[in-house]
Structure 1
Amino acid sequence: MNKSVSKSIKQSLVNHLSSLKKKNPSFIIGVSGGADSMALLYLLSKVEAELFVVHINYGLRGEDSDLDQELVEGMCTEWNIECCSVRLESAHAKVENFQKWARDERYRIFRDIKAYQKADFIATAHHQDDQLETIFQKLLRGSGIGAWDGMQVVEKDIFRPLLRISKEEIYTFCEENAVPFREDVSNQENKYARNLLRNKVFEEFEEFFPGWRNNILELEERSKSYQAALDIVFEKVFNGSGIELDSYNMLDEVLKAEVLKKYILTLNEDVPLSKGQLLELKKIGDTQTGTSIELGECGHLYKEREQIFFKLSDLKQKDQSLIQKNEIEDGLVLNGFSFYFSSESKPGVLNLDADCLSWPVTIRNWRDGDSFNPLGMEGSQKVSDHLTNRKLPSSLRENARVLCGNDGVIYSVLFPEIASNGEFGTISEKVKYNSHTCSYLIIQQVV
């Protein structure tokens, strides 16, 4: 046996854990009972971390599904790890896209349990072969180079420490460390795209295209380089509130579509954008002032004088978004506001003392009963009363947002449009800056 495989995988985990920059993190771990997730469970059981295992039993393989559950529960008992199993009705297998339904249900359960357990991350056992399949499918579906980056080891609250480890190496690791696992025989069925690629297409490639795996995986780095270049272009055409028309019209057709896509997704990453929609949207540069192009129920792109703007529909305003401190370091645009740090205060914007905030912060719709301590006022005031006092039309009040900390304190109320007094928001007394403030969180309205 090549003991270097186990040593390499263990060191890889240590490196990835250190990148989380959190001492003794807590994880919700999705464990199916297969080699990948059992290897991950074994690895994490050997480090200083709080673990909670979740096993999903879809009941599709009868006794085999129950044996998977028994293995996971048994090993968790042996390794002294808290575990829960969730059974989903197999009748749902009749949905049109079972794989998507299963994934959505799986992550819904993970997130519900993560919130209940107050865990830091959801750990999954995605590995290098999964990454290969992800990138290859994107190529076949015609995704642009910007989408070839595949999955990331750390992606918001998802942790994938095996992403650089091949399936073959995982099998070797399990053998070297006597990690028990079960094989899912349904993985040999080719009715799903991933199985077809894994079981037939890729096997043929090995003979005719030696080294093809590394070539596909290298596209991830090319995609990152492309994204870095696109960021530079975007900074040249985005002025903080919209796209500068003169700069936009100087771009070639491909970059026009990419810039508009980036602009729209910074406002809301859940807006669906097809190739056809982008082809239609990029025509905005050649239209007359006042022209508006609808994007279904998501919003509309419009041209106003020398700028291009995108306005989200009320239906697409996300109810809640979690913002980590490191996400703001390079600047963040979200829900019509830009967030960035500064070493000094700025005029015409909201200035918060960044060191007074409990991170991560959340931006969400205001709710009945919300109250805060407005700047310059003694005591608290209901957000609803504050919006009324600021003379915001009733039709706009419901779209106001609040920025609150991990401690639940509301730090700022953000208006959907500039109020009659010229304000677009109010900060709390609790986060006002003073002569000792070293770091400012700047909030600016961009749309």
Structure 2
Amino acid sequence: MLKEFQDHIESRLSFLKESKLLIAISGGIDSVVLTQLCVKSNLNIALAHCNFNLRGDESDADEDFVLQLAEDLELEVFVESFDTKAYAEENKRSIQMAARELRYNWFTELSEQLKFDYVLTAHHADDNLETFLINFTRGTGLEGLTGIPEVNDIFVRPLLPFSNEQIAGYAKSNKIKWRDDSSNKSTKYLRNKLRHDVIPILKEINPSLLQSFQNTLSNLNDTSRIVEDAIEKFQKEAIEDVSNQHIKYKVEAFKKLAEPKAYLYEIFKDYGFTQWDDILNLLSAQPGKYVASATHRLIKDRDVLILTNSFSDEIYEEYIEVLDTNTTLKIPNGFLEFSEVDTIDTQHHENCIYIDKALLHSPLTIRQKKQGDAFSPLGMKGKKKKLSKYFKDEKFSLVDKENTWLFCSDDNIVWVIGKRADDRFKVTDKTKHILKIELIQ
């Protein structure tokens, strides 16, 4: 197996030979064999072990084993102890999910702090099959059936081509010691149930199951790349606008497709959505309708779908007080720069206004819209207009409204920031002090 491992590194993962590597080691057979193979292949490695404190003395014995192994192999080792149960309860996670988050967060942090190029994990071919079956039984799209990625950002899995049987055979023939995790024998976890009860039957039916599975994965990954190319080409045609707050997609582009639901799924699957029939119905829904996930919204607005971050249903009551009109103030959508000037630049853009400073009255605040807001748009000579009507006339989307901020004097709107100034505060021939306010984004 050593020769096969080295050939695999040479042909597929040669970048590891020149890299500083961190091995995620539990003390179990897979990670210990990975460590031994890397040592014999002269890779530059250190070890990282997580003690999740879930199995009492057994967890501590695993830690002691890893420390001794590192000493025997003259390797640097890092150990972190976690209160996994407390983390799971606090973050409403299963124990398995909590342990996963804790270890991957720590590995990432460790690699950043100590300049490791990659983190190696000991996932192998049987793990890949288990993951495939878990995703299959829970329901998934194509991405859930393409297996564990061999390289995913800083995480690399050099043992993916090798079976559990090969790893066990190498460990026994080389008299390698390891620790057995007693929790791996329990079938209360889905992965273990598949490992102990289902996969042995599948291997009995097809002794070449893993090879057949590898061929299937190869075919599915080829298909996945075709899908990715099609989605990328479609998005170039469908995206109308991109900003820091949103991405706008042309509704008509989806309606022209033979299978719009499939494209909607592929484009928006990574934003936490699950209600795919509701999302499909947005294509013909009234403006303002939306579907929300925990993190994002997809909003129908006239002839576009707008993807934006999630929001709170609460009315905004917070405000930012302007204490100095000769400074730069940070606001949610940029910076407001205040300065007194002698003249007006007639070529100024909508992100800049000039007002009569003497007309301002405290308190000066930056806030969002509220019920009943009205102002006198510049040029309308004192005529009032409801802010809601202004938004409608200007065809503001729901996202535009949520990201619009107001500069107010004693709660009177002076400027719909970045859009329209109020006529009541304009500079006239009687103005003695001109205040320039500019939005910098």
CA RMSD of aligned residues (A): 3.3
Identify which of 51, 54, 58 aligns with 1:60.
Answer: 54
Match for residue 8 of structure 2? Answer: 12
SS in 1 for 2:69: helix
**Residue of structure 1 equivalent to 2:254:** 248
Aligned residue for 1:150, secondary structure, equals coil
Equivalenced residues, count: 321
2:191 and 2:352 map into 1 onto residues whose CA distance is: 55
What TM-score do the two structures reach when normalised by structure 1?
0.63
Measured after TM superposition, the shift of residue 249 of structure 1 is 1.5
Q: Which residue of 1 aligns with 2:336?
A: 388
CA distance in structure 1 between the aligned counterparts of 2:29 and 2:119, rounded to whole angstroms:
18
Within 5 Å, give how 1:292-371 maps onto structure 2. Answer: 292-313=289-310
- 2:281 is the alignment partner of 1:283: yes
Q: Give secondary structure in 1 for the equivalent of 2:336.
A: helix
- The one-letter code of the counterpart of 2:114 is Q
Compute the displacement of 1:247 (Å): 3.3
Aligned 8 A contact 2:293 2:310 in 1:
no
Counterpart-to-counterpart distance in 2, 1:420 and 1:136: 53
SS at match of 2:166: helix
3-state secondary structure, aligned to 1:387? strand
TM-score, normalised to structure 2's length? 0.64
* Alignment match, 2:28: 34
Whether 2:74 is the aligned partner of 1:77: answer no
SS at match of 2:37: helix
Tell me if structure 1 keeps the 8 A contact 2:84–2:95. no
- 8 Å contact from structure 1 (residues 120, 157) kept in 2: yes
Cα-to-partner distance string for 1:326-359 (whole Å, 9 max, x where unaligned): xxxxxxxxxxxxxxxxxxxxxxxxxxxxxxxxxx
The one of 100, 111, 115 equivalent to 2:112 is 115
Q: Is there any run of 5+ residues in structure 1 with no aligned partner, and where?
A: 316-380, 397-415, 422-447
Deviations 1:179-234 (A, max 9, x none): 32122232111111111111111122223345444444444233323322323432
Give the match for residue 272 of structure 1: 272
Contact 1:56 1:87 in 2 (8 A): yes
For 1:10, give the aligned amino acid. Answer: Q
Aligned-partner Cα distance in 1 for 2:224–2:190: 27
Q: Which residue of 2 aligns with 1:183?
A: 180
Partner AA of 2:25 in structure 1:
V
> In 2, are the aligned partners of 1:29 and 1:41 still within 8 Å (CA)?
yes
1:74-129 deviation per Cα after TM superposition (whole angstroms, max 9, x unaligned): 12112111112223347559856211111111112222222221212221111111
Counterpart residue number, 1:105: 102
- Distance of aligned partners of 1:70 and 1:296 in 2 relative to their CA distance in 1, 3 Å threshold: closer
Amino acid at match of 2:263: V
How far 1:130 sits from its partner (Å)? 0.5
- Closer, same or farther in 2 for the Cα pair 1:187/1:237, shift >3 Å? same
C-alpha distance 114-204 of structure 1, shift in aligned 2 (>3 A)? same
Distance in 1, matches of 2:145 and 2:115, equals 33
The residue type paired with residue 283 of structure 1 is: N
1:298/1:59 CA distance change after superposition, 3 Å: closer
For 1:202 and 1:93, locate their aligned partners in 2 and report how far apart those are by CA, in whole Å: 32
Counterparts of 1:17 and 1:209, CA distance in 2: 30
Corresponding position: 1:261 with 2:265: yes
- SS class of match (2:13): helix
Contact conserved, 1:230 with 1:259, CA < 8 A, in 2?
Answer: no
Structure 1 vs Structure 2: percent identity of aligned residues?
Answer: 24
CA contact (8 A) 1:294 1:301 kept: yes
Query: CA–CA distance in 2 between the matches of 1:383 and 1:169?
Result: 63
Which amino acid in 2 is paired with 1:156?
Answer: D
> 1:142-153 alignment to 2 at 5 Å?
142-153=139-150
1:30–1:55 contact (8 Å) kept in structure 2: yes
When residues 297 and 71 of structure 1 are mapped into structure 2, their CA distance, relative to the original with a 3 A threshold, is closer
Aligned residue number for residue 361 of structure 1: none
| Higher alpha-carbon Rg | 2
Distance 1:94 1:227, change over 3 A: closer
Equivalent residue runs for 1:169-180 within 5 Å: 169-180=166-177
